[in-house]
């Protein structure tokens, strides 16, 4: 502990000199800097601390972000790299941009280690500018003003997470990468925050410092931003069709990667059997949220999505036109979603809309998003007290049954799923 403290003091001493040559984004000074045993590397809450203090341990023991770099050294990653014509994965910008805190070398501090994977500063921002005031008890607002990334804000969190978990203008898992063996990227902001697992606890102090942010807000904002990012990628000239194939990563994985037994069911796309379906899971979820908050936008979005599905088959210019309209619709509700006070009534209505959607839809990508949306809603209902303690256990058990209906990444046990949803609906009744 002494040595850590010494390192920390050294770093603090270095801070002014860093400030002089400061880049607008700051130096990433490394996980070790944050993991002091009386900072975020404690096993029990340090005296007078607002926060649990064990953030580092949760991250290092339980969070897959911690192993993001290490997996690049494993057999699978090496095989993938070979398939892509690369000598390895652990030295490639293509991989490191999401599997590590891959900032430029002049922004890496002395204790920075690439092998820490997706560490503290990958999400919270390079700490050189704000570590000093952060340690000396500045308010959260001051820390944020100094450069701490506001991960508690749904929009900011969505932007940060989806930059890798969907992709952005510099990072994108295209179908070549999937074909080489990259796993499918599934994501829903609120659920993934929880299962990370979260290294924060929403208590009185948290609410006083950061405000009360509800799970359903996080879910809805996450859907809107995911849809914006998907449409941005569709509009990106880099991902325009080469030859006559479009970028398959925009399409619903299970639209092709399914067993023959699961033959066509009526879908909301207007497309006939045997067609490759654009991944519309975020759009469908966005529509559910929008129907409650801004019904006009929801119905406009539906029209544009239908036109987009039709256009994906044969007219990429029309796809781009529709993608622009879908993007605008999604962007227009980001603010509304992040400020909307989702009441118990709202949450129950959203759950009902999801139950209705699941009934007879039967598409893996939709069912997966429905499941995670229900996770966010039931968490929200419990947090708000709309589901009391005596019902909470039954709801949790019912949620587990819903998850259990996914035996693998390409099929849903439709009977088990329908039955589990009925069970959840029952458990959620007042």
Partner 1 sequence: MMRFLPAALVAALLAVAAPALADDPIHLGVQSCAGNNCHGAVQPIGNSRVPQNEYFTWSQKDKHAQAYTVLSNDRSKRIAKNLGIEDATKASLCLDCHADNVPSAQQGPQFQISDGVGCESCHGGASPWLGPHLTGESHAANIKAGLYPTDQPLARAERCLSCHLGGDKKFVAHKIMGAGHPPMPFELDTYTAIQPAHFVVNQSYVERKGRPNDIQIWATGLADDVKKRMDLILDPAHAPKGVDFELSLFDCQSCHHSMKDLQWRARTTTGLPPGRIKLYDATSVMLLIVATRIAPPEVGKSLVDHMLALHKASGENWDAVKREATAIRELADKLVPIITAHDFTKEDAIGLGHTVVVSALDGNDLDYSGAQQQVMALGSIVAAMKQLGYADDKVIAALNQALGGLYDAVADDQKYDPDAYLRALKAFNDKLPS
Task: Using CB under 8 A, count the residues that bind partner 1.
Answer: 45
Among 16, 106, 408, 415, binds partner 1 (CB under 8 A): 408
User: Taking a C-beta distance cutoff of 8 angstroms, is the pair 254, 313 a contact?
Assistant: no
50 near partner 1, judged by CB under 8 A: no
181 near partner 1, judged by CB under 8 A: yes
Q: How far apart are CA 134 and CA 141, in angstroms?
A: 10
Among 180, 336, 349, 362, binds partner 1 (CB under 8 A): 180
Query: Which residue stretch of 73-81, 164-172, 203-211, 217-225 sits at the interface with partner 1 (rule: CB under 8 A)?
Result: 73-81
Alpha helices in 166-294 (DSSP H): 175-180, 189-195, 204-210, 215-235, 253-256, 281-293
Q: How far apart are CA 176 and CA 83, in angstroms?
A: 9
Q: Report the site for partner 1 in 86-115 (rule: CB under 8 A).
A: none
Q: How far apart are CA 219 and CA 379, in angstroms?
A: 11
DSSP, collapsed to helix, strand or coil, labels residue 391 as helix
71 near partner 1, judged by CB under 8 A: no
Among 45, 76, 238, 339, binds partner 1 (CB under 8 A): 76
169 near partner 1, judged by CB under 8 A: no
Output the CA angle 298-304-308, nearest 5 degrees. Answer: 140
In the bound state with partner 1, the residue whose beta carbon lies nearer, of 259 and 345, is 259
CA torsion, ordered 64, 67, 69, 74, to nearest 10 deg: -110
Among 107, 140, 171, 175, binds partner 1 (CB under 8 A): 175
Which neighbouring-strand residues pair with 245? 242
Query: Which residue stretch of 39-47, 82-90, 136-144, 232-240 sits at the interface with partner 1 (rule: CB under 8 A)?
Result: 82-90
Q: Report the site for partner 1 in 309-368 (rule: CB under 8 A).
A: 312-316
**Phi/psi of residue 90, each to 5°?**
-75, -5
Q: Report the site for partner 1 in 272-291 (rule: CB under 8 A).
A: 272-276
Task: Output the smallest distance, CB 330 to partner 1, in A.
Answer: 23
Task: Output the smallest distance, CB 77 to partner 1, in A.
Answer: 10
Name the token pair of 244: 């006559």
Task: Output the smallest distance, CB 99 to partner 1, in A.
Answer: 17
Q: Report the site for partner 1 in 236-255 (rule: CB under 8 A).
A: 241-246, 248, 251, 253
Handedness of CA 17, 22, 25, 28 (dihedral sign): negative
Cα atoms found within 13 Å of the Cα of residue 218, Cβ hemisphere only:
26
Which residue, 71, 59, 14, is CA-closest to 34? 59
Among 199, 382, 410, 422, binds partner 1 (CB under 8 A): 410
Q: For binding to partner 1 (CB under 8 A), which residues are involved?
A: 76, 79-80, 83-85, 174-181, 183-184, 241-246, 248, 251, 253, 256-260, 263-264, 272-276, 312-316, 408-410
């Amino acid at each position: 502990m002494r040595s850590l403290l010494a390192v920390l003091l050294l770093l603090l001493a270095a801070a002014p000199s860093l400030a002089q040559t400061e880049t607008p984004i700051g130096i990433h000074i490394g996980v070790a800097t944050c993991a002091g045993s009386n900072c975020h590397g404690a096993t029990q809450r340090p005296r007078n601390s607002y926060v649990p203090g064990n953030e580092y341990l949760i991250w290092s023991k339980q969070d897959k972000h911690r192993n993001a770099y290490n997996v690049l050294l494993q057999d699978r990653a090496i095989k993938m790299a070979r398939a892509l014509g690369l000598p390895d994965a652990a030295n490639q910008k293509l991989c490191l941009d999401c599997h590590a805190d891959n900032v430029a070398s002049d922004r890496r501090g002395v204790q920075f280690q690439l092998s820490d994977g997706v560490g503290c500063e990958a999400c919270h921002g390079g700490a050189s500018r704000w570590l000093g005031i952060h340690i000396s008890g500045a308010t959260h607002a001051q820390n944020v003003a100094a450069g701490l990334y506001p991960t508690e804000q749904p929009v900011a969190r969505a932007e940060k997470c989806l930059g890798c978990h969907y992709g952005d203008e510099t990072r994108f898992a295209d179908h070549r990468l999937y074909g080489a063996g990259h796993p499918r990227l599934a994501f829903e902001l609120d659920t993934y925050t929880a299962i990370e697992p979260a290294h924060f606890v929403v208590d009185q102090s948290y609410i006083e410092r950061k405000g009360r942010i509800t799970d359903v807000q996080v879910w809805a904002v996450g859907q809107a931003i995911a849809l914006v990012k998907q449409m941005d990628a569709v509009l990106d000239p880099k991902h325009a069709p080469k030859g006559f194939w479009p970028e398959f990563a925009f399409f619903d994985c299970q639209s092709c990667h399914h067993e023959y037994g699961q033959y066509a069911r009526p879908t909301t796309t207007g497309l006939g059997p045997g067609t490759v379906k654009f991944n519309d899971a975020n759009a469908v979820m966005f529509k559910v949220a929008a129907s409650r908050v801004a019904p006009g936008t929801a119905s406009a979005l539906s029209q544009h999505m239908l036109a987009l599905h039709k256009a994906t088959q044969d007219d990429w210019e029309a796809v781009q036109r529709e993608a622009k309209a879908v993007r605008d619709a999604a962007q227009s509700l980001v603010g509304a979603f992040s400020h909307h006070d989702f009441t118990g009534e709202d949450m129950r209505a959203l759950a009902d809309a999801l139950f209705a959607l699941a009934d007879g839809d039967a598409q893996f990508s939709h069912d997966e998003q429905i499941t995670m949306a229900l996770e966010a809603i039931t968490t929200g209902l419990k947090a708000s007290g709309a589901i009391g303690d005596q019902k909470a256990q039954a709801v949790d058990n019912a949620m587990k049954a819903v998850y259990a209906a996914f035996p693998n990444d390409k099929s849903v046990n439709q009977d088990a799923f329908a039955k589990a949803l009925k069970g959840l609906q029952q458990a959620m009744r007042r």
